[in-house]
């Protein structure tokens, strides 16, 4: 690890020239020639509909107030620190409660620390909240080198918690953040007091691939899981590009703000709960665009894709830290979720919600906060 352990105070301050450049690029967008009949703003069958994308781009250009959103982000203390040559950005919000538990919130793609913006004030009565950005995401840029995958990132996160003064801590994560949470518990079990995962019905698509089919499933249950896998298959397009061709897609995401907008906004339709909604009906429009703006201003559309490439080629096994107390909050729950993921009911805390989806901290922050609090209040979760 790098011997310079300094924590440098950080504030978000995007240069005005970068904001002007964004508006200029949006105004000069070279739009595709529309396919006849593609005029339904809610029809995502071929990807994000052009009519909806134009509407969102115009709002981003003319009505979205980055400075107001920047001020909201700067209401929370932030630092940067260098670990193993890589700069990490960390949101660090201390609780006024002297008995508060340190809690690390872990995000993946297409999220950022902005994803937890509405969750933070719901937790700080009981938790010191720490949100590190993975290498290549947000202000954890630029990348210092190749090789930043889950294992190296997890070790860096543990070091960051040491620098912040937290020997023992809890961890919550979703998406790729669930991977860092599980690995933290597996590699540093003496430090992690409990792991809490936010998941959704699409996790069923991992059964038969990342996770084996459990014994005892009926033919009908296997068919239901296969149906979820088939439904999820078109979603793997972005994953295959980022896993195997990050340089190719990275060029487009760095040069075209509308390309970056489409690349991320679509996922808030196909991954969020309520399939009938547009992305900005599932989550707050300004929060969505703040998240996308962060990717644009930091050029992390390209560098976050590199993180996927590194993980896909690392040969690492999925680690879930079986010896550490764990809890799941499943949003947009499928009836077979626990049957397939935890058939032995080894996970002590398991909650299912019909609301929400892949982005619970943005879609249902109150439900997620309540479940996190309930998990870490349970007997057997101890900082001692």
- pLDDT at residue 1 above 50? no
Better-scored residue on pLDDT, 154 or 340: 154
| Sequence spans of domains, the chain | 8-377
Q: Structure pTM?
A: 0.94
Q: Known catalytic residues? A: 175, 308, 358
- Which of 139, 22, 30 shows the shortest CA–CA distance to 76? 139
Q: How far is CA 369 from CA 47, 251, 373, in A?
A: 32, 37, 6
* Residue 84 and residue 157 in contact, taking contact as beta carbons nearer than 8 Å: no
pLDDT at 272: 73
Q: At what angle do helices 50-62 and 16-27 cross, to 10 degrees?
A: 150
Q: Across-strand partners of 91?
A: 78, 131
| Mean pLDDT value across residues 127-153 | 97
183's tokens? 């690995």
- pLDDT at residue 321 above 70? no
- The CATH number corresponding to 8-377 among 3.40.250.10, 3.40.50.300, 3.40.50.1820, 2.60.120.560 equals 3.40.50.1820
pLDDT tens for 245-258 read: 999 999 999 999 99
């Amino acid at each position: 690890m790098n011997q310079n352990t300094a924590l440098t105070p950080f504030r978000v301050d995007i240069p005005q020239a970068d904001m002007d450049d964004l508006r200029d690029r949006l105004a000069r967008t070279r739009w595709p020639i529309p396919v006849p009949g593609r005029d339904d703003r809610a029809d995502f069958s071929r990807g994000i509909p052009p009519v909806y994308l134009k509407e969102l781009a115009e709002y981003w250009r003319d009505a979205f107030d980055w400075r107001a959103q920047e001020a909201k982000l700067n209401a929370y203390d932030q630092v940067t620190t260098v670990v193993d040559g890589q700069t990490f950005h960390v949101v660090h919000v201390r609780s006024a409660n002297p008995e508060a538990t340190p809690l690390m919130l872990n995000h993946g793609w297409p999220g950022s620390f902005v994803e937890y913006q509405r969750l933070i004030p719901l937790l700080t009565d009981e938790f010191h909240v720490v949100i590190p950005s993975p290498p290549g995401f947000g202000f954890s840029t630029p990348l210092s080198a190749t090789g930043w995958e889950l294992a190296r990132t997890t070790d860096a996160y543990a070091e960051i918690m040491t620098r912040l003064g937290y020997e023992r801590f809890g961890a919550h994560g979703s998406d790729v953040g669930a991977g860092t949470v599980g690995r933290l518990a597996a590699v540093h079990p003496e430090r992690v007091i409990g792991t809490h995962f936010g998941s959704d019905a699409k996790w069923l698509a991992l059964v038969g691939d990342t996770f084996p089919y459990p014994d005892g499933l009926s033919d009908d249950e296997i068919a239901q899981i296969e149906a979820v896998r088939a439904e999820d298959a078109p979603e793997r397009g972005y994953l295959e590009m980022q896993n195997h061709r990050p340089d190719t897609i990275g060029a487009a995401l760095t040069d075209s703000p509308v390309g970056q907008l489409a690349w991320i906004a679509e996922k808030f339709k196909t991954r969020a709960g309520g399939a009938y909604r547009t992305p900005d009906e599932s989550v707050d429009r300004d929060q969505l665009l703040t998240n996308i703006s962060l990717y644009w201003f930091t050029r992390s559309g390209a560098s976050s894709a590199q993180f996927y490439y590194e993980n896909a080629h690392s040969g690492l096994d999925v680690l879930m830290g079986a010896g550490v107390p764990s809890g799941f909050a499943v949003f947009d729950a499928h009836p077979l979720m626990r049957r397939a993921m935890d058939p032995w009911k080894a996970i002590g805390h398991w909650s299912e919600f019909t609301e929400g989806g892949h982005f619970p901290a943005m879609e249902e922050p109150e439900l997620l906060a309540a479940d996190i609090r309930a998990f870490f209040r349970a007997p057997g979760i101890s900082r001692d």
